[in-house]
Amino acid sequence: MIAVTVPACNEAKNLRKCVETLLKETTQLGEDFRIIIAEDGSTDGTDKIAQELQQQYKQVIHLHAPQKLGKGRAIKQSFSKIEADIYAFIDCDLATNMKFFPQLINSIREGNDLSLGSRYISGAEIQRVVLRDVASRCYNSFIRIMFKDQITDHQIGFKAFSKRLIKDVLNECDSTGWFWDTEILIRSINKNYKCVEFPVSWEEKKNGTSSLEFIIEIGVQNIIGSIKLKQLMSK
């Protein structure tokens, strides 16, 4: 069983396309699967679209939260709701080209515990506004120095995990927001789970989240999260 989570907060414009694209990709993998829409306190009608998709497709599960949980908590609750052999999540805007989705899943089938795309290793193609690109590269360098890992892209919304990793690491992750992506990677690598990172094509979507205010907000969350995690792991 493959369980793919789509975190969705105010994603009315993107959700249907995302889920129907995922349905095409997962069907070709030759294994039973579920697509879980972790709909997180939406106010733009995303919840109604998610409910329609659940009624239309038997493989789709809609998890509704009336109030915003945060990306990390939404994914964590989704993973906890279903038994699967492979767990994955992707961003609803399909910023990562979905031609790489089979590779994401097959990397776990091949014996890896953690699989993720990267915008920053050789062979990757990225289209992104300069401000966010610079901020992201600086953040990744900061995390590599702080935790001495080799991951180039901690925050990409295109990750897959083995069952044994999720059962062992998921409940240890405390972050409820954007830092969750980094936290689960660091905790997994610290426990010597086998990781593979591969280049992808990635295009930033125009969704109003490239403002300086947003970048600062996420940056502060991530820096605070990294300091807290470092303190916890040093005890």
Residues taking part in catalysis: 181
What is the rounded distance in angstroms from the CA atom of residue 235 to the CA atom of residue 216? 29
Phi-psi region of 200 (alpha: psi -120 to 50; beta: other; left: phi over 0): beta
Are 37 and 53 within 8 A, CB to CB? yes
Three-state SS at 37: strand
Residues 6+ apart with CB under 8 A from 37: 5, 6, 8, 15, 19, 50, 53, 54, 60, 61, 62, 63
DSSP string, 166-210: HHHHGGG----STTHHHHHHHHHHHTT--EEEEE-EEE---SS--
Among candidate residues 86, 119, 95, 115, the one with its CA nearest the CA of residue 197: 115
Among candidate residues 99, 88, 50, 46, the one with its CA nearest the CA of residue 184: 88
